[in-house]
Amino acid sequence: MALSFTEIEQDKWNNIKVLIVDDQLSCAQLVKSVLEKTAIKSIDIATCYQQAIQLCQNHRYDIVLFDFHLNQNINGGELLTLLRKKNIITSNCGVIFFSGDRSPEVISTTMGIDPDCFLTKPINVGTLKQRIRNVYHVCLQRKPIYDALDQNNTEQAIQLCRQLLREQGHNLHIEILLLELLMEQKQWQQAEQLLTLFKQRSQHHKLALIEAQLAAKQGGIKEAVRQLQLLIKQVPLCVNAYDELARLYQQNKQFESALSIAQQGLMLTPTIPHRALLVAQLAADMNEIEIFLQAGKTLSTHLPIIDNLWLIHFAEYTAIFEQIYTNQLSTQHSYRLQNEIKQIHQFATQRLQETQRYLLDAFANVVMARINYTEQQITKAKRRLFQGLKPFFGVMHQAPSIVMIDALPMLISFGETRLIGEIYQVLMTRSELDGHSQYRLSQLKEKQLIIENIRLLVSHLETAKINLSDDPKRAGALYKTILHDYPQCSEAILGYCDSLINQQDYQNPELLEYTKQLTTLPLPSPLAPWKKEIIEKQTSIQPMVINHLATNIQKA
């Protein structure tokens, strides 16, 4: 039955803004023509996710309609997640999904996203007209509540929910929102009383899920598990129930059951990264290598490639990979794992767009550097690390936080003060960091002594550099001392080589060895020009070095 608007609501309806996101222009135009017959005047169309993001940044839409399957390996759920995460659409924006795909994956994924409405293609004209009016009516009802939540006034939002339910009676969306807010405020008794009342009016699966969550919050783990098992049996596509049940099994140390149920959730929604990561972590904890690797392949072939969120998910997976890798006792197993992570990188490369692949290459080099470092292959680790950071030399502000922070422990160990300083300055300008980066950074902050030693190193390098021209012998001794503590410090290596050349100690074997290392190592400015100058000095004095360096450069 079509809703009747009040005069004020009708006036607002005549001025709403609607966006249709569909990669098939003809379908979007058909939906637009139907909506125009309902007196909606402002309707925009986006045929790709980039256009949708831009339009949402420039306009405040009241309702957005998403086709589930968009082009460029993107689905509407990924786009909605980004728009919500970055506050590009309002919290109260009405969301309608439509799709001709009725597979369990689409249904489960959409249920997890929780839109206001889902329509199947071909779309019935009468149904579309009715549903969009219904959705807008819901948006008008809940707007004061969401405005209060946007101002972090949860208590007011709770009172507004209660008021609306008293005035208008049963409203499943508001009932669920009220229960969630009460649980967030740990008002368990009130939530339990209201849940009993609401369940008399509806047996909706969302209420059953909240009932299980409420039981778990109050310590009734066994009862919560029983309720979730029953819910999954009755509504097998309610994927959030799988998440809750896996978490409770994990909390109760029933790891095999947790892994099994997490795998079922992942099978239903392979495009949702947090489920692949949960399976990966559980598999790693149980040393189930094959399941762990399969989770990585699922993640890499379904990465959400909008924005750079994909890199965060990939970094979280590789952190778990490092956990498994360091526990391997067999060289053969370690070698196999290296090949597997490279293959997973390759799967991700195939999914990513051309403009994103260099970020994965950079991150992959940093990851492999960390592995080499763990295996005490220090020179190789440094070369890979610098190869990973090379695209950002001079433009470090363009580097993802994850790449910089995962590189920092090795840079500190190597004594690369210039890169450390540059990364630190950039990170200070970042308004917020993802959870993975925050965790890595907190680990570094705990090592206060190491950070203090880097400050001393900066001072020692400055002192040595001052003496380089006037007293190369003293400078050489200072650089030698630094290299005793930081054998891989690029600035100390350059300074020591320069001091030897200034002392005309051309036959020193360390000079040739260090120069050999430098030829294959990319360096940031101002170290790169210094390296070039040293090599030019040496080659102009000692012709045989030219052939040696040329051979090394060709091999590199």
CA angle 175, 115, 100 (to 5 degrees): 140
Provide φ and ψ at 82, rounded to 5°: -65, -45
Question: Would you give the end-to-end CA distance of the chain in angstroms?
Answer: 73
203-206-212-216 Cα dihedral, nearest 10 degrees: -150
> Three-state SS for 98?
strand
Closest by alpha carbon to 51, among 19, 29, 75, 27?
19
In the predicted model, what is the mean pLDDT of residues 18-46? 92
Per-residue model confidence (pLDDT) at position 283: 97
Token pair, residue 77, equals 């759920």
* Distance, CA of 274 to CA of 276 (rounded, Å): 6
Per-residue model confidence (pLDDT) at position 543: 58
Task: Please report which confidence band the pLDDT of residue 1 belongs to, taking 50, 70 and 90 as the band edges.
Answer: very low
Q: Which residues pair with 66 in a beta bridge?
A: 21, 97
Provide φ and ψ at 117, rounded to 5°: -160, 145
* Distance, CA of 309 to CA of 436 (rounded, Å): 12
Mean pLDDT of the chain: 90
* Non-local CB neighbours of 25 within 8 Å, separated by 6+ positions: 45, 47
pLDDT at 114 over 70: yes
pLDDT at 35 over 80: yes
DSSP state at residue 139: H
Per-residue model confidence (pLDDT) at position 516: 85
Is the CB of residue 493 less than 8 Å from the CB of residue 483?
yes
pLDDT digits (tens, 9 = 90+) for 519-548: 889 999 999 999 999 888 877 776 555 455
pLDDT digits (tens, 9 = 90+) for 305-337: 877 789 999 999 999 999 999 888 788 888 899
Distance set, CA 430 to CA 406, 407, 411, 506 (Å): 16, 17, 20, 47
What number of other Cβ atoms are within 10 A of residue 467's Cβ? 18
CA angle 501, 505, 511 (to 5 degrees): 70
Pairing of strands 63-67, 117-120: unpaired
Per-residue model confidence (pLDDT) at position 433: 85
pLDDT digits (tens, 9 = 90+) for 209-267: 999 999 999 999 999 999 999 999 999 999 999 999 999 999 999 999 999 999 999 99
Task: Please report which confidence band the pLDDT of residue 14 belongs to, taking 50, 70 and 90 as the band edges.
Answer: confident
Task: Look at the block and give the residue holding tokens 């896996």.
Answer: 246
Task: Look at the block and give the residue holding tokens 């200070």.
Answer: 428
> Three-state SS for 93?
coil
Task: Look at the block and give the residue holding tokens 């203090």.
Answer: 452
Per-residue model confidence (pLDDT) at position 262: 98
Burial tier of 239 (Cβ tally within 10 Å: 0-12, 13-18, 19+): buried
* Distance, CA of 468 to CA of 129 (rounded, Å): 80
* Distance, CA of 265 to CA of 195 (rounded, Å): 26
Radius of gyration of the chain (CA): 30
Higher pLDDT, 437 or 497: 497
What pTM value is reported for the model?
A: 0.86
pLDDT digits (tens, 9 = 90+) for 23-33: 999 999 999 99
Percentage of the residues of the chain whose pLDDT score is greater than 90: 68
Q: Strands, DSSP E only, in 68-182?
A: 94-99, 117-120
90-93, long-range: CB within 8 Å, 24+ apart, which pairs?
90/60, 90/146, 91/146, 91/149, 91/150, 92/139, 92/142, 92/143, 92/146, 92/147, 93/61, 93/62, 93/63, 93/64, 93/139
* Distance, CA of 491 to CA of 482 (rounded, Å): 10
In the predicted model, what is the mean pLDDT of residues 337-366? 92
* Non-local CB neighbours of 504 within 8 Å, separated by 6+ positions: none
Token pair, residue 90, equals 């309002």
- DSSP per-residue string spanning 191-212: HHHHHHHHHHH---HHHHHHHH
What burial letters (b/e) apply to 286-320, b meaning 16+ CB within 10 Å? eebbebbbbbbebbbbbbbbbbebbbbbbbbbbbb
Per-residue model confidence (pLDDT) at position 552: 54
- Crossing angle of helices 104-113/76-85, nearest 10°? 10
Task: Please report which confidence band the pLDDT of residue 556 belongs to, taking 50, 70 and 90 as the band edges.
Answer: very low
